[in-house]
Amino acid sequence: MTVFGYWRCSTTHQDGERQVLALKAAGADVILGDNITGVSTFGERPELSKCLEQLKSGDTLLIAELSRLSRTFLGMVNELSNLIERNIAVKTLDRRLDTTSLPKEMTMLIVSILGYSASQELEQIKSRTAEGRAVAKNRGVKFGMKRKYNPHQIAEIMKKRAAGEGYGTIGRSLGISRATIASIVKREEVAL
């Protein structure tokens, strides 16, 4: 019987070290993890896929909380159901779930409630993010990468393009990528 620990961080800016240390302290023999969002498909999480393949009947999957497995209601319920059918115990470090101490029916009820809660939390995060972005846009905040060129360079690009120079030639002379030159020309031509 092996205890597998799985950690997940939503972005590459987050560090999984806190989860790894907690999984080690809780007795995980093997620890795997991914830096990817919880709404990603299981196929997009190579370490989770590897973990699920290695789990055998009688093993335990240890995770910080159920949302590390999935943020969607259906994803969580389906995966937990599959694990239970394979006789794999699932425990969370937040102590909300321990399938070794509950009958299957109670486990699925708890998973359904926690899955619904995780889905609702995700929707609230999306809603708050959209609202915050809208407020910021109304204040004049620009999103995306800052432009690496100025109005003078745009005029120079258009002048060179009118003279018949190619995108690559213009880009090399101004130190701007060919793709950026092409998008500037396209945008400026539409504005005319």
Largest CA distance in the chain: 78
3-state secondary structure of 162: helix
CA 113-16-95 angle, 5° bins = 35
What's the pTM value of the predicted model, to 2 decimals?
Answer: 0.60
**DSSP states of 30-60 as a string?**
EEEEEES-TTS-GGG-HHHHHHHHH--TT-E
Q: pLDDT 10s per residue in the chain (192 long)? A: 999 999 988 766 677 888 999 999 999 999 999 887 655 665 678 888 899 999 999 999 999 888 787 767 777 788 888 898 899 999 999 888 888 888 878 887 887 887 788 778 878 888 998 899 889 889 988 887 777 788 899 999 999 999 999 999 998 998 888 999 998 999 888 766
Please state, in angstroms and rounded to a whole number, the distance separating the CA atoms of residues 192 and 183.
14
Contacts for 70 with CB less than 8 Å, ≥ 6 apart? 38, 39, 42, 76, 79, 115, 118
CA dihedral 103, 109, 114, 115 (to 10 degrees): 110
Phi, psi of 79 (to 5 degrees): -65, -40
